[in-house]
Amino acid sequence: MSGAPATVPLTERPSPAGEGRRRLGAAARGRLWAYGIWAVLALLVLVLVAVSPSFRTSTNLTNILEQNSMLGIVALGMLVMMVSGGFDLSVGAVGATSAVVGAYLSAHGGLWAAIPGALAVGLLVGLANGLLIARARINAFVTTFAMASVVTGIMFVATSASPINANAGWLVTLALDRIGGIPYAFIAYVLVALLTGFALSRTKWGHYVYAVGGNREASFLSGVPVVPTQLAAFIYGGLCAAIGGLILLGQSDIGQPSSATDWPLTAIAICVIGGVSLMGGEGRLHGTIAATFVLGVISNGLNLLNVSPYIQPTVTGAVILIAVALDRVSRRRQAAG
C-alpha cells in the first residue's frame, strides 16, 4: 500500500558497533580541536629547537617561563572577565599604577605597605569597572577605555609622568630569582592559574560566570545573582593586573608610569587565541595558558633569529588571525557533532 511506512534494509542500518565508533571518533576529533593550541605550541618549540641552538639552552627556556609569567597572570584575569561577558582595557593602567603606588610606598613605608597599596589599586578599579558594567549596564569597551584614561591621567598628574624609585626588596627576588632552576615568577603564575581553574570549575561562582556570559537575561530569570557575579569577575581581573604590576615593579625596582601600555590588547589576544569567546560564556583555562606561551615563544624565537622588530608585529598578527580562524572552525565542527 502507498501509505505503508518505508523500511530501511538491514544492510543499510548503522550497527551499534559502527555507531559507537562514530561517536568515539567525533569525541576524539573534538578533543584534538580543543587541545590544538598545545599542538601549535609543541610544533613551534620543535621548529625553534631545530633551527636555533640558542633557543634550546636551558637558560633561554627558563627565561621564556619567567618573561611570560607576568603577562600570563594578567591574561588569567582577562579570561575570567571575558567569560563573564566583558573585557577590560584598563588592565595596563592598573598594572602601571600599581607599580607606581607600590614603588612610592615601598620607599616610604616598606613592602608591608606597598603590597596592600598596590593590590588596593586593582581592587578599586575592578570594583568601579564592575559597578559601571554590571549594575549601570554601560558598555565594557566604553567603561574600561574611559577608566584607563582616568587612571592614567591621575597617575601622570601625581608623578609628573616621572619614574618613582622603589625599595622593592624581596619583590625583586620574586620577579627575577629562581629556585631549583624554576623562576619564582613562574611559580606565582602557576598558583594564580590553579586558583583561577578552581574558581571557574569547582565553585558555584565559576558556574555562574559561564552562565552570565552565555546568556545574562536567562541567567537572571533562573535566579543567578548576575550583578554580584560579574562584579566579582572584574574585581578578580583588577587584582590580577595589580599582581602583574607588582612583578613589573620587582623586575625594574622602579615605578614607571608609562609602562604596561600593551597589556590590554595582548591579554585579550592571548584569551582569543586560547579559545575564549568575545561574546562571553566560553573559555578554557588550559587554552589561555598555552596561548600565553605561544606568543612568548614566537617573540623569543624571532629575537633569537634576528628578525627585524618591524616585521615581528606582522608575524604575531598573522599567528593571531590564523589561531582565531582555526578556533572558529573548531567551534563549528564541535557544534556539528
Chunked into runs of 10 residues, the chain (337 residues) has average pLDDT values of 51 53 50 72 93 92 94 98 96 97 93 95 98 96 97 96 91 91 95 97 96 95 96 98 96 93 93 90 93 93 89 82 73 66
Phi/psi region, residue 259 (left: phi>0; alpha: psi -120 to 50; beta: rest), is beta
Percent of the chain with pLDDT over 70: 87
User: Mind listing the pLDDT tens digit for each residue in 38-82?
Assistant: 988 999 999 999 999 999 999 999 999 999 999 999 999 999 999
Please tell me the pTM assigned to this model: 0.88
CA dihedral 76, 278, 333, 42 (to 10 degrees): -40
Q: Cα(191)–Cα(211) distance, rounded to whole angstroms?
A: 25
